[in-house]
Amino acid sequence: MKTSNNWQTSVNDLVHNFLKSLNSLVPVMRAARILDENLIGYDDWARICDNLFTIMVVEPIRESLPENEHLDFDLPMYNTEYETLEHFSLIQINQKDAIPGKFLTEETSIFYCFESSGKNENEFDKLETFKIDSDFKIIEESFKTIKISGACYTCLISKDGHWELLDKITTQMY
């Protein structure tokens, strides 16, 4: 018998938990030769990241939305480029303690993936971001790597041609 409880969290906490899970896997993935000494991995690592991102970030956000919005909600897969992001919701990067104001301008940084600076061989400690243009296409020259410290994450939910900012969520814990 399944019992459920409401779980209150934030998009920021979901993304930070995802990062912690990636970092906890580093020693094992390096020993299995799925990650190299620079924490670069290929197909197997990509599948692991995609599954963890879906389970730890995408699904809790989706489950927090009204049931009639579940099918319309989608985030880009982790560390994946798309021709257009028009029908996706997005993880926005804010500076710590910033009050999100206008969003989805050409100045908005969007979450792409975590990277290693090489300073700590067992940890992803940098964040790769990008920006999109008014046609929802990635601005290729906008990819930027920044320090993780000070970054906060919120979700921009695409709804009927406009955006809603989602930060705190309540979802089911099974």
Query: What pLDDT shows up at residue 159?
Result: 80
Q: Is the pLDDT of residue 153 over 90?
A: yes
Mean pLDDT calculated for residue range 105-120: 85
Give the C-alpha separation, 73 to 56, whole Å. Answer: 15
Query: What pLDDT shows up at residue 38?
Result: 86
What is this structure's pTM?
0.89
Mean pLDDT calculated for residue range 76-103: 81
What are the structure tokens assigned to 149, written together? 């410290």
Residue pair 135/116 in contact by the 8 Å Cβ criterion: no
Mean pLDDT calculated for residue range 153-170: 87
Q: Report pLDDT digits (tens) over 23-42.
A: 999 999 999 999 998 888 98
Query: What pLDDT shows up at residue 20?
Result: 97
Residue pair 115/99 in contact by the 8 Å Cβ criterion: no
Break the chain into its structural domains and give their ranges: 5-173
Tell me, what DSSP letter sits at residue 117?
Answer: -
Give the C-alpha separation, 90 to 130, whole Å. Answer: 11
Q: Mean pLDDT lowest for which of 36-45, 88-97, 135-144?
A: 88-97
H helical segments located in 37-173: 43-53, 59-64
More confident of the two residues 99 and 77: 77
Q: In which band, very low, low, confident or very high, does the pLDDT at 97 lie, cut at 50, 70 and 90?
A: low
Q: Is the pLDDT of residue 1 over 60?
A: no
Mean pLDDT calculated for residue range 160-167: 83
Q: In which band, very low, low, confident or very high, does the pLDDT at 118 lie, cut at 50, 70 and 90?
A: confident
H helical segments located in 32-141: 43-53, 59-64
What are the structure tokens assigned to 128, written together? 């790769």
